[in-house]
Each structure stands twice: as structure tokens, then as C-alpha cells.
Amino acid sequence: MGATAGAFGLGDPAHLARQQTAIDRLLMAEGAGHVVHDLPARADGRNVTLASRPWRLDPIPYVVSADEFVWLEEAVARRMRMLEAILDDLYGERSLVADGQIDPAMLWGSTDYRLAAVGAAERRNQKRWLSTYAVDVVRRADGAWFAIADLVDTSVGVGYMLLDRRVHEQVADVPAEPVRSLEPSLHWLRKALIDTTDVVGPRVVMLTSGIDHPAYVEHAYMATQLGFNVVEGPDLVVRDHCLWLQTLGGLERVDVLHRQIADRQLDPLETNTYGSAGIPAVLLADEKSALAITNAHGSGVLQDPSLLGSWDRVGEALTGEAPWLTMNSPRVARGSTRVDDLLEAPAERVPCLVDGQLVDHPIVIRFHAVASDDGITVMPGGNGRVIEAHDDPIRPTPCRAKDVWVLGDEPVSARPAAVSAPQVDFITSVPTRAADSLYWMGRASERSEVVARAARVVAAATPSVGASAATPAMRLLRELIGAGPDWLDGWASAGDLRREAVVAGVASLEFHIGSMLAEAASVREFLSTTTGRVLGELATTRSRLSDHPGDVDELDSLLVELSAFGGLWSESVVRGPAWYFGDFAKRYERTVVSLTSAAAASATNADASLSDPDRRRGLESVLAANDSLVAYRRRHRSDVELDAVLRLLLHDDRNPRSAAASVAGLVRNATAIGWNAGIERIESVGDDIAAIGPQSPKGDFDDIIERLHTLAAELTSTRLVAPPHATPVRPRTVDPGAVA
């Protein structure tokens, strides 16, 4: 029979509360807080406005005994076989319609019945309809199990299951009995996807609608674990009846499309479709057997609410086997969604930690299965979700999860066989959208850092040194946040001006960090777990900024986190096209900032209203905002002088914050990505920067900055955003390289 964590002893609530704190921290480090949904628009103009729904993983697992899982394993596999047979009939012989088992008017009237899939299985030599399957089940207090939802269109949850287990294992007490491992699940899923095609070493990509999808955290996590690209509709194009991935190096053939979008979103050229997340003409590639789609197009009809009540009955008639898990969906009942009413008996209640107290709640559990050439495999675990009062069991509102433990030793049959496939190095295979996101992430991270430093310098200025000493830093901050030229005028007092400058700087900082987090979330597979933890800390600090805009400690914490991100970017990301585009953006932004800082220093030195001490302190504030003050003091024993400041900010290539060092980085990156048209022009910009001196007018700085803007715009428009006519030209395949 099923059990709760009581089988191991619950422990005291204080101990569980400490585990909950650790779990929350680890989930946030994995990006599971899903913080991207309250961030500003991305660089491509898409707004990220979906309400944030972070989940909490309960420290008390739900435990399934070994004997009961044997029954559940067969019940889930039997239900998957039944649904596979139904799909095969609905789009093939349609004997269920001919025999009157299904009302033809209801089937033809279903918006989820895909006409393009009728007869397609035979035409495209399709192996199976369902490669992945999930079923939501609930358990009554008397021990009986019931299904409440089949997930066959897109079976969400495997990534969440693995992520929850990974986190829970780090904090949970050692169980008294062995718990089945979920480690083989990735091998089973990978084999199921590879087995959908006869291509040796197929290219598999995971199609998602983007970071505004509620399950994007899972999509990114799964792609990282499986080694697949996360792609969106604009990343893919159909040419010559084949599907191709648009990368920096050209078009690369895709063999398996593991979709995480609904059937009706897949191909906007098909009837009964909506949205723009899909790929035009992708069904042509599917029709010509040049592409395998998982799950197969048309499988979403099984989730049509008007037909849900028919499947158990017609499935038994079709296969001769009665389902062990019968459907009790609220969509079928069309009445109360309370779980007890749904089951017509009390649901099992299990202990959960709520606000530091143990409270009994019913839960819904999602089990997962995959189908490969070896048959159906049910994963020994699942997703538990707590049901609050008046919740619809299909969509519990609190987003409180439970890890599901299956007791027992690992059976020999559960050990996955190695999946042999040619080894391919995809370091040069970077989708253009991913490169674009990395580019804007690099720009936003660099701009965030300098705005934070400038805001900190202004916030830390004390009245005792004179308000005018902070004016140069405020002038720099004005340029960085794009405020008007009269922004520093008309304030009643210097203190009011300084406070307003800090508030405006923090508002700009929130925007840039938000943009950075949004872009980073869309390319999570390129970033390490440690980087994900830093991003989680950045998101937390960002959320506190508006409450404490002048808090120097908060700005210091932010600078530490931004520096950690920069260090990980420089030392933990492989030098490939993805890195070079992101680093080009950082060097470009740093060059602009160095020039802006140098212009602010020149304006400070020429300001006749400043006393000599205030002028020196003003130059020091500009150096501090550029993170070059310590370097200046180590090299120069005299007071701060403009000539030495300009040399350090612009000309000294040994200073990594200087324009000269940044221009050298731009040349290296342009060379690495093969942007030959830009190299000579970048070098010309470097020559003009070298000619700047203490007497150079502000127009010289502005002209160089404008040329840099033009160069950056040209790079993104020619290398990252391909024109519509570029994709038909000679598609190529990836050289598989050496066989492992």
C-alpha cells in the first residue's frame, strides 16, 4: 500500500523548517523561482508579463512502497498502450467511428482532431504516436488509485521531477530503506527520442515557446541535462521538405523535434491553429518522413474535454484490456472540482509543512512513462502537488510540490543500455537567437555594473566633502541612464539632487539587471549551475533595490554578484561563437563606458565652478565609477591629474577597464567570429581613441561613441538577424566528426 514520509519518521517541525529553507535556496539557485516573468521586455521587444508562479518543494516526501509501485507501473504502461491504440485507430482505420463507439459528430467537431494527421502514420512510416506520456493520479483513503488527467500532447514534468529529486537529496535525512534512483530516467528519455527515427545519431532539438512559457524552467533544465538545443519557432525553417536549425554557421538538419508546445500551435499553416510559436510548413517535413515529431502531431485529441469520458470505454473495446487506472477527471464530471467529490470518497491526506506546522492535505501525483523500441518504461518517481481546499486537482494553485519516493532496490531490468550514437561537437552550432540573447545579456551585464558603481559613488558621497564633489559622478550617471541635459538643475538642495540621482540610477539598474536575467533565462543551457546560482542571487537583490534605493550595502552586494557573474563568464564558458558574441557585447559596452567616463573627467577638469579639492575628488569619483581608482593610486603618487586619468581610462591596455584593452578585445572577438568587415573599422576607432588628450573637445568623444554604436548595430543586423531570403541558400548538414 502507499505510504507517507511517516514510514521514516517525520521529525520535528523546526528541523523540517530548516530543511525547507535549504530547499528554497537550492531551487532558486537552479532558476526554479521562475523569476523571469516579472522582468522587462527582452531585446527583441517581447514582453515577459506572465505572472510568476514559483513553487516550493515540501521537505516531506511522498513514499510509494515497492509492491504498490509494481501495480502502478503496470497500470500506467497499460494506459499508455491503450491510448496509443486509440490514436492509431482514430487516424487510421477509424473502426471506433464505424462501429459507433465514438460519435463522429463529436470527433469531427473537435478542434484538437488534426485532419493533417489522418493516414499520416502510414505515409510517414511513423513508429509510434506516443514517445512520452504522463498521467495525473490521486489516491483515495481506502488505497484505490484513479487517473484524473492524461498528458499526451505535451507531457510536462520530467524535468521538475529530476530537479526536485536533485535538490531534495541534498537536504533529506538518510532513509531507512533504499529509494529507487531517477538517474536512469534521462537515458530512457533520450533513447525514446532517438528511437523515433532510423537516422543514426539524429539531431534532436526541444521546441518551446520561450521564456514566457510557465514550464520554461523545465525546458531549459531538460535540454541542459540531455545535451539538446532549446529552440523557438524563429530558430527553425523548412526547406526542401526538411527542417533546419538556423545557426551562426548556416542551416543544420534537424531529425527529431521534441515539442513542448501544443498540437494546435505547431504549424501556423494548418487549419484550426493559433499563435505564432510554431514553424510554418513543419508538417510538410513530417509528412515526407524527413522529420520525427514527438509526440506525433494529432495526439492532442486525447485531451479534448468533450471526448475524455469516452477513452476508457472505447480503449477496452479496442484492446480487450480494461484500464487499471480509470479516468475520474473533473472535465468529465463537469461538476464539482473538489477532489473528494471527484472520487466520491475521501482522498488520502498526507502531512505537509505549511508555515512551520504539519498540516494534512490531499495530493495529486504525476507519473511519467516513455516508449522506445524496447517497450514502455515507467519512471520510478513522479511529481507530487499539494491540493488546497477548493482547488481543481488538475491545476493546484499553491504550487507546492512533493518529491515522490519509490522504495526498493534497483532491478537489473531498470539499468539502461548505453545508447550508441556518433559523437558530435556542437561548439560551433549556435542558434542565431541564442547568440542574439547572449549578445544582449553581455551588454546588459556590463551596463548594470557601471551604473551600480556610479550610483554607489553618488550614494556614498557625504555632505562633509561638499556636494560639488559628487557632481562628476552624477554627470556620468546622467549619461549612463540617458537623462536629459537639465537633469542636474533646479533642485532645492544638493541633498535632494543626490537622492534623486540615486533613485534614478537604481531604477535604471533594475531595468538593466532585469534585461540581463531575461536574456540569460532564454540561454540557460549555455550557463553553468554555479552561474545559475549567481543569477538567482542577482534576482533576489534586484527585488530589494526599490525598497532601499540608497542603501550602499545593497549596491555593494549587487556589485559582488555582478563581479561573480563576470568571472564565471570569463573563466567557465568555453570559447566558442556563443562566448565570442557575448564577450564582444561586453567589450563594446565597456569601450563606450570608458569614453563616457573620460568625457566626464574632462568636463570635471574644465568646470570653473569647482575648487581644486573638489575637482580632484570629482576625478576620483569618475575613476571609482570605472573601477580604476585603486589602479591609479598604485601607479601615481601625485594628486589626481586629468592627463594621467585619461591615460588610465583610454590608452593603457594593461588596465582591463580601459578603452584600449576593450578595443583589443573587440578585435579578437571580431576575428574569432569571422567578421572581417568590422576588424579594420574597429582598429580605426582604436587609433582615434589613442589620439584623445586633455584638450580634446566633447565632440571627439561623442563622434567615436556614435561610430561604435554603428558598428554594433551592423554586427547584430548582419550576423545575428538573418534576412528572410538568406535561409533557402544551400542547406548543409553538420559533420558528425569522430565516432565515440
125-164 per-position pLDDT tens digit: 789 999 999 999 999 999 999 999 999 998 889 999 999 9
What are the respective helix, strand and coil percentages of the chain, to the nearest 5? 50, 15, 35
Model confidence pLDDT, tens digit, residues 258-275: 999 998 899 988 866 666
pLDDT for 424 equals 58
CA 203-260-70 angle, to 5 degrees, is 95
> In sequence order, what are the residues at sequence separation of 6 or more whose Cβ sits closer than 8 angstroms to the Cβ of residue 243?
236, 237, 253, 254, 257, 279, 282, 285, 290, 291
How far is Cα 393 from Cα 386, in angstroms, rounded to an integer? 9
How far is Cα 59 from Cα 62, in angstroms, rounded to an integer? 10
pLDDT for 130 equals 97
Question: Grid cell 509543512 — which residue?
Answer: 353
Q: Which three cell numbers stand for residue 646?
A: 585619461
> What pTM does this model have?
0.84
Model confidence pLDDT, tens digit, residues 665-718: 999 999 999 999 999 999 999 999 999 999 999 999 999 999 999 999 999 988
**Contact between 626 and 649 (Cβ < 8 Å):** yes
Q: Which three cell numbers stand for residue 338?
A: 473538489
Residues 478-503: what's their mean pLDDT? Answer: 74
In 3D, which of 338, 434, 355 has the Cα closest to residue 391?
Answer: 338
* H helix runs in 323-403, sequence order: 330-333, 339-343
How far is Cα 24 from Cα 507, in angstroms, rounded to an integer? 27
**Contact between 519 and 569 (Cβ < 8 Å):** no
How far is Cα 466 from Cα 473, in angstroms, rounded to an integer? 13
- Distances in Å between the Cα of 208 and the Cα atoms of 183, 211, 233, 512, 706 are 24, 8, 8, 25, 37
Residues 82-93: what's their mean pLDDT? Answer: 95
pLDDT for 544 equals 85
How far is Cα 242 from Cα 197, in angstroms, rounded to an integer? 14
**Contact between 317 and 101 (Cβ < 8 Å):** yes
- Distances in Å between the Cα of 696 and the Cα atoms of 23, 606, 659 are 57, 11, 16
Task: Give CA 595 to chain center in angstroms.
Answer: 34
pLDDT exceeds cutoff 90 at 591: yes
Residue 480 pLDDT class (50, 70, 90 cuts):
confident
Question: Grid cell 518529491 — which residue?
Answer: 403
Residues 465-477: what's their mean pLDDT? Answer: 67
Q: What is the CA radius of gyration of the chain?
A: 30
pLDDT exceeds cutoff 80 at 486: no
Q: Which three cell numbers stand for residue 109?
A: 467537431
**Contact between 382 and 37 (Cβ < 8 Å):** no
385 - beta bridge partners?
364, 401
317 - beta bridge partners?
none
Residues 233-255: what's their mean pLDDT? Answer: 90
More confident of the two residues 220 and 256: 256
Sort 534 into a burial class: Cβ within 10 Å, 0-12 / 13-18 / 19+.
Answer: buried
pLDDT exceeds cutoff 90 at 613: no
* H helix runs in 138-248, sequence order: 158-171, 184-194, 216-226
In 3D, which of 520, 523, 597 has the Cα closest to residue 565?
Answer: 520
**HEC string of 42-98?**
CCCCCCCCCCCCCCEEEEEEEEECHHHHHHHHHHHHHHHHHHHHHHHHHCCCCHHHH
**Contact between 457 and 470 (Cβ < 8 Å):** yes
Q: Could you give the strand order of the β-sheet that contains 250-254, starting from the edge strand earlier in sequence?
A: 236-239, 242-247, 250-254
CA 95-97-102 angle, to 5 degrees, is 125
Q: Which three cell numbers stand for residue 146?
A: 484513479
Domain-wise residue ranges, the chain: 80-409, 432-720
How far is Cα 369 from Cα 672, in angstroms, rounded to an integer? 44
Task: Give CA 107 to chain center in angstroms.
Answer: 37
H or E element, residue 458: helix 432-460
Sort 133 into a burial class: Cβ within 10 Å, 0-12 / 13-18 / 19+.
Answer: buried
Q: For 349, list phi and psi in degrees, rounded to 5.
A: -110, 140
pLDDT for 459 equals 85
3 state SS of 489: coil
How far is Cα 219 from Cα 277, in angstroms, rounded to an integer? 15
pLDDT exceeds cutoff 60 at 381: yes
Give residue 300's identity as a one-letter amino acid code: G
Q: Which of 45-54, 626-635, 645-654 has the highest mean pLDDT?
A: 645-654
3 state SS of 172: coil
**Contact between 598 and 687 (Cβ < 8 Å):** no
Strands (E), 316-419: 350-354, 357-361, 363-372, 375-386, 400-406
**Contact between 372 and 164 (Cβ < 8 Å):** no
H or E element, residue 592: helix 577-606
In 3D, which of 690, 426, 704, 365 has the Cα closest to residue 574?
Answer: 426
Give residue 656's identity as a one-letter amino acid code: P
Give residue 558's identity as a one-letter amino acid code: L
Q: Which three cell numbers stand for residue 454?
A: 556610479
